[in-house]
């Protein structure tokens, strides 16, 4: 009887462990990972928006704003300054 109870407790313990692992994986896939990806996208978009605002602000000072894309440089000036 005691040995049977030990086996039952061991099986219950293993099942509880497996359930905890599966719930952790499900929580990560459906809750944590999408939240992290959302933050990454939001941060990227905010950074891109900030760069465009800075370029526009510099261009309105009637000075050339050099943009380097690869090995090519483009100078931007506000049309109102011409």
The radius of gyration computed from the CA coordinates of the chain, to the nearest angstrom, equals 29
Please report the pLDDT score of residue 80 as a whole number: 83
Residue closest to 67 by CA, chosen among 43, 51, 47, 81: 51
Q: pTM higher than 0.75, yes or no?
A: no
Q: What is the per-residue pLDDT across 37-80, written as a single tens digit (0 to 9) for each?
A: 899 999 999 999 999 999 988 988 888 899 998 999 999 888 88
Q: What's the pLDDT at 27?
A: 92
- Determine which helix (DSSP H) or strand (DSSP E) holds 1, and give its type and residue range: none
Residue 1 banded pLDDT, cuts 50, 70, 90: low
Q: Tell me how crowded residue 39 is: count the other CB atoms within 10 A of its CB.
A: 10
């Amino acid at each position: 009887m005691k040995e049977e109870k030990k086996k039952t407790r061991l099986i219950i313990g293993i099942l509880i462990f497996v359930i905890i692992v599966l719930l952790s994986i499900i929580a990560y896939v459906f809750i944590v990972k999408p939240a992290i990806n959302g933050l990454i996208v939001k941060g990227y978009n905010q950074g891109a928006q900030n760069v465009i605002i800075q370029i526009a602000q510099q261009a309105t000072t009637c000075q050339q704003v050099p943009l380097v894309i690869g090995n090519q440089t483009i100078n931007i000036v506000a049309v109102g300054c011409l």
